[in-house]
Each structure stands twice: as structure tokens, then as C-alpha cells.
Amino acid sequence: MSIPDQTFTKVSYFKISAAQEGQRIDNFLLKTYKTVPKSKIYKIIRKGEVRVNKGRIKPEYKLKIEDTVRLPPIAVSNKDNTPVFIPKDVLDTMEKSIVFENDHFFVLNKPYGLAVHSGTGLSYGVVDVLKRLRPNQMVELVHRLDRDTSGCLMFAKSRKALVMLQNMLKQSQINKTYIAMVVGQWPAKQKVLDFPLKKYLMQNGEKRVRVEKGGQMALTKVLKVQANKKFSLLTLRLITGRTHQIRVHCQSVGHSIINDDKYGNREDDKQLKKYGFNRMMLHAKTLNIESNELCEAVEISAPVPEVFNKKL
């Protein structure tokens, strides 16, 4: 039985599939019924109105395959059910952006300038677009990419695949390779960036990251350098996956990523504008995945945008 829609005007029953297995019942309901207030979800669980296999459950109950879940009728305001408008060209672009897919997960080439999630000032993100394109399929984000970074972004089709892929990332069984165009001539001997990183808040409340003693250990390896006196093209591998890691590591050695509006230098970017750099010059090029239950060993690549193809 499929996941019910978000109107639930009457009692509904549905069975748990492999896609939902292992999720807590509260998290599952919060994700499935985003238009219902969190307090309401916990209230109906607490009062025993949500039942699994005819029995009462607690919020921390983990769903199992073939569990039968009962949901009571819940009133939802019409305005909450109004779908967000997503332009057809965005839907078409996303549909064509898949670079790898099997029964367990898929990887897309995320466009530059599109955030992963909707948020402040953003009515939709990549996740919203995918859920519109795949309404009957579980779509779970495995890792993140910054809004202005393009390239490989992975999604799981089941809870089991999500947990497995995230564990593989933690254990370095999935390697991420990026390309970046940075300001100035990168020193050929600078092959390792291992500066600790710490998050902080600016006075306006914006979250940033900086190199700071006592911060989280962060390691980036520079695999290849092509450079001239004005700018350099780097191939980098993330060993750890800290927020804004590559951006801050490059800035910390005096070679910011071109057009990085958080960590870059506006004067440098202005001087380089004549070369056609029209975006933040960071692209998640490849994912190298070791053999596992979900797939054979595979290298997944996102095509490199033309703007990176400069003579050096």
C-alpha cells in the first residue's frame, strides 16, 4: 500500500515497505506530513491515535517491513496544501541531470545556483523539485552541496540505502573529487590542506566557517594543479567533509575560489571578470564508490561546465 496523501480526512491504513524500514515513527510522519504541525504529530502518537499493527507505539518506535500503520483523520488548512510553483524549465533540467541510477540510489549533476533545500527567500530547492518529479518514490538526500556549487549530488531510494551510503562516506569508502578555479598562481608544493575548521556566527546572524585552533580536523588533498599568474585550476579530494571545507582551505592559503561571495575577495574577482568567470568556480566532479551491497565499484562523473575550460 502506498504512502497516503496529505489530506487525511478519514482513517487511513498503509503498510511499511523497505523504503521506510528503520525510520522512527515520529520522523516518518514529520517527513510525510509536512503540512501538519509538529505538536499535532506528537499529540496523536501520545493519545494512541496512531497505531502500528493495532497497538499503541511511542515516538521512538522504529518501523519494520510489513508493519501496518493506522492514521486518524487530521484537519489541514487549504493554504498549507497549496503546491509551490516550480517552473517547467527547472523540472525539465532536473529530469535530464541524472548521471547515474540503480534500484537503490541515484546521482544528479546539481545545477549551479540552485539550493538543495528551500529556505529563507527560496520557495523550492533540489529536494522539492525531485519530489515533484518522483511523487511515489522515496527521495532522501545523502550529502549536501552548497547552493553555488554544481556537480555530483547523491540521493537514496530507501532508508537502508541512505544509512549505508552515509556510513560509507564516513568510512571513506566513497571519495569525492572536486575541481576549483582559484585566484592567483597556486604553489605547486602545496599538496595538503589540513587546517582545523570551526563554525561561527557573524553579527548579522549569518553562519560562517574559519580556520581556528581547536576546531574540527579537516583534510583536503590537492591532486593536480594547472596554473598561470592570474588563476589556477585545481583538482582536489575531500578526505573529511566539513561545511565549506574547500572554500575556507583555499582562502586560508591566500588563493580564494573565484566568485566565492562568502570567502572570496571582490577586487580579485572584479579583475578576473574579463576571463568569463560568471559563477562560483567550484564543481563536484566525481564520486568514486567502492563495491558494496548497493552497487559494484563505480566512478560517477558530472560533466565539467564549459566555464572551467580556460587555457592555462
Q: What is the predicted pLDDT for the residue at 39?
A: 86
Q: Do the Cβ atoms of 98 and 107 come closer than 8 Å? A: yes
Q: What is the predicted pLDDT for the residue at 237?
A: 98
Q: What is the predicted pLDDT for the residue at 235?
A: 98
User: What is the CATH class of 88-160?
Assistant: alpha beta
> CA 185 to CA 47: how far, in whole Å?
65
**pLDDT tens-digit map of 43-60:** 889 989 899 999 999 999
Q: What is the predicted pLDDT for the residue at 121?
A: 66
Phi first, then psi: what are they for 65, rounded to 5°? -55, 135
* Three-state DSSP class for residue 120: coil
Q: Where are the domains of the chain?
A: 12-81, 88-160, 172-308
User: How far are the Cα atoms of 18, 34, 109, 298 from residue 103, in angstroms, in the given order?
Assistant: 12, 26, 18, 15
Q: What is the predicted pLDDT for the residue at 6?
A: 47
Stated pTM of the model? 0.77
> Which of 146, 148, 260, 269 is flagged as catalytic?
146
Domains 88-160 and 172-308 belong to one CATH topology: yes
Is 92 an active-site residue? no
User: What is the CATH class of 172-308?
Assistant: alpha beta
Phi first, then psi: what are they for 300, rounded to 5°? -110, 130
CATH classification code of 12-81: 3.10.290.10
Q: What is the predicted pLDDT for the residue at 77?
A: 47
> CA 140 to CA 131: how far, in whole Å?
10
CB neighbour class for 63 (10 Å; exposed up to 12, middle 13-18, buried from 19): buried
Quick one: cell of 152?
A: 555530483
Mean of all residue pLDDT scores within the chain: 90
Q: Do the Cβ atoms of 16 and 66 come closer than 8 Å? A: yes
Residues of the chain with pLDDT below 50 are: 1-3, 5-7, 77-79
Q: What is the predicted pLDDT for the residue at 2?
A: 45
